[in-house]
Amino acid sequence: MTEPLLSVRDLKVSYKVGSGRIDAVDGASFDVPRSSIVGLVGESGCGKTTVARALTRVIADNAAITGGQMMFGGRDLVTLPEREMNALRWRDIAFIPQSAMNSLDPVYTVEYQLNEVLRRRGGLGRRDARRRCEELFELVGIDRGRLSDYPHQFSGGMRQRVAIALALALNPKLVIADEPVTALDVIVQRQILDQLRELQAALGISVILVTHDISVVAYICDRTVVMYAGKVVESGTMQATLTEPSHPYTMGLRNAFPDLQGAASGVLTPIEGAPPNLAFPPPGCRFAPRCPFVLDTCRTVQPPLEGIAADHAVACHRAGEAATLREKAARIETWMGRAVA
Amino acid sequence: MTMQTSAPLISIEDARLHYKVGGALSALRGNPPVVKAVDGVTFTIRRGESVGLLGESGCGKTSMGRLLLKLEEATGGAIRFDGEKIADLRGQALKRYRSRAQFIFQNPFDAINPRFTIRQTLSEPLENAGVPSAEREARIVSVLELVRLPEPRQYLDRYPHQLSGGQLQRVVMARALILEPDFVVADEPVSMLDVSVRAGVLNVFRDVRDRLGLTAIYISHDLALVRYVCERTIVMYLGKVMEDGPTEDIVHEPLHPYTKALVAAVPVPDPNQSHDALPIGRGAPDPRNPPSGCVFRDRCPHAFDRCSREVPHLRQTGTRHVACHLFDRTE
């Protein structure tokens, strides 16, 4: 395998809260191969957005990267001097923030906002910037005549396209998209995902797609990284992780989803309980309090992320029994009778 | 699920909700623009029936729900609840209607006063309905048990920010149920929740509805969710009903071209599932400027000349009603 575009090893990000500290990301490791889409999945508070932000080193004032490596093009983004890091932002690594459609400035036309990036960051002249604006709009499928429109004149889906155009402005190698379709209707969601996939393939870039929605991963991603309570609990090819989920949390996510093709009489299986308070994480596996397959060891010993197949890693003490657990996990009785989230 | 053939609990006849938009200037020009949020909608709901209102933002599904609960006054047509026109309800009759028909809001984080404890949130409707204070706590505890919040007493004196999204949505449901309504409208009640807890809330919704024999409307853009809770689905587009029929029939064989697109767009968690290309044109419905004839024709892959000339009306086709010229064999 060729060297990945991005390789994250044992990343730690902490927030200072009052007199205490919360390790929102506690030793995350994953790779982003060239020309691929990686889905970073998990529920609210699992640390997925913190990882995404840490990759650009644009993090909250009370947050700090406290350990690990983020290798990108032979350089470690964790230790890179701020000036060099800043030069990478937007040019090499672009970020589409959550609800990007609301992140556009309402008092400027979208062309003005594109121009700002192209001219200030990209150093383009006026004419080149204009040409690039038109190119970008064509790329994301919006009529160039609408460049002079203001954000409120666009629908939600169109604004999301504008946000994608903004991210692609300077030909980045890596685009990080934080929940790009969460607020959208199914039809627009599908259109935006199709567009992202087309652009990714045409431009040969890599995308990290942060989402809580496993169907988005199934539709568009090549690889999956599942996070739970600040840790990566499962990673691998999308096919392997979703057809043979081997961490009970991934199994749970898979079964919690209504399937239009499935039997009408099926009952959805929730993952009862809530993620732990990261100020006081459980000593063993962080999923242990919600896990229907918990053993005594799980409550005391943290399971390491270990390979179970060529391109599939899981952090679970019972990874060896995954096939049996998958069968049990498909039954709702397995998950019932726990605390309610 | 209950299937009864009794008289309808709710009947909606040619309901309209038109908003005047634009300022005095456009009014002076003589043709003030009108947004037809709901435009000539007709259907009935049997007692105990669960109906999904399906469509994209701006299709009028939420407006329809608000009309049914009299949170908005219809600008035309008639809505009857238990035989009575809700537009004519006044005084005590209106108050009684307000307790019999309830709304479950989309965003639990917005729907509850952050400065009220859970006890205060749930006491308010009881107080309004004149339930003596001595009885209130027992009612609150029993409704929280109904929505499956375990050991409900521990939540009574907590504030909303101390609850998770899933817990809070159960409180929102409890508030809608505490006056023992006959009819509830749930507006995308799980869209703000994590996938892992959605299933729990949906299961509670189904159970409660069955146990109390509720008549329910479930509003969503996602057919997979509607299918999970509703035996019947009504598809709306730009204020009009496009298709109406049993949910399973709609899932397996959608008839209207718009329904076909909605079915094809439903996200599937199985990576081995093949996906058809989306059979719909780009762009979003523009409620200020709907096309002539069929409002869907500018995005429809099957549109022909009749579609621009003539508005298609709902016609029965097998188990369903469809508003599309493709299914009208009278011409």
**Per-10-residue mean pLDDT for chain B, 331 residues long?**
67 94 69 86 96 92 95 95 95 93 90 94 94 95 93 94 90 95 94 85 92 96 93 96 97 96 89 83 78 94 95 94 88 50
A334 band by pLDDT with thresholds 50, 70 and 90 = confident
Minimal Cα distance from A218: which residue of B? B271
Taking each helix axis from N to C end, the angle separating A186-203 and A156-168, rounded to the nearest 10 degrees, works out to 20
Collect all residues of chain A within an 8 Å Cβ-Cβ radius of residue B273. Answer: 218, 261
B106, B196, B210, B274: best to mutate for the A interface, most A CBs within 10 A: B196
Minimal Cα distance from A141: which residue of B? B282
Minimal Cα distance from B250: which residue of A? A260
How far off is chain A from B221, nearest CA to CA, in Å?
A: 6
Domains (range + CATH), chain B: 8-327 (3.40.50.300)
pTM of the model as a whole = 0.90
- Residue A341 pLDDT > 70, yes or no? no
Nearest to A268 among B165, B202, B268 (CB): B202
Does B104 contact A at CB distance below 8 Å? Answer: no
A85 band by pLDDT with thresholds 50, 70 and 90 = very high
Residue B74 backbone dihedrals phi, psi, to 5 degrees: -65, 145
CB pairs under 8 A between A and B: 138
- Residue A257 pLDDT > 90, yes or no? no
Sequence ranges of the domains in chain A: 104-169, 244-335
Does B30 contact A at CB distance below 8 Å? Answer: no
Decide if B278 and A212 are in contact by the 8 Å CB cutoff: no
Does B274 contact A at CB distance below 8 Å? Answer: no
- Sign (positive/negative) of CA torsion B208, B209, B212, B217? positive
Decide if A269 and B199 are in contact by the 8 Å CB cutoff: yes
Does B118 contact A at CB distance below 8 Å? Answer: no
* CB of B196 closer than 8 Å to CB of A341: yes
Pairing of strands A37-41, A6-17: unpaired
- Residue B39 Cα distances to A224, B63, B210, B236, B242, angstroms: 45, 11, 32, 10, 12
A293 band by pLDDT with thresholds 50, 70 and 90 = very high
pLDDT of residue A262: 75
Collect all residues of chain B within an 8 Å Cβ-Cβ radius of residue A155. Answer: 284
How far off is chain A from B57, nearest CA to CA, in Å?
A: 7
Collect all residues of chain B within an 8 Å Cβ-Cβ radius of residue A218. Answer: 267-271, 273
pLDDT of residue A1: 56
How far is the C-alpha of A317 from the C-alpha of A326, rounded, in Å?
15
Question: What are the pLDDT digits (tens) for A28-48?
Answer: 999 999 999 999 999 888 999
Does B266 contact A at CB distance below 8 Å? Answer: yes
- Residue A283 Cα distances to A65, A280, A287, B142, B233, angstroms: 22, 9, 11, 36, 48
How far off is chain B from A238, nearest CA to CA, in Å?
A: 8
pLDDT of residue B48: 94
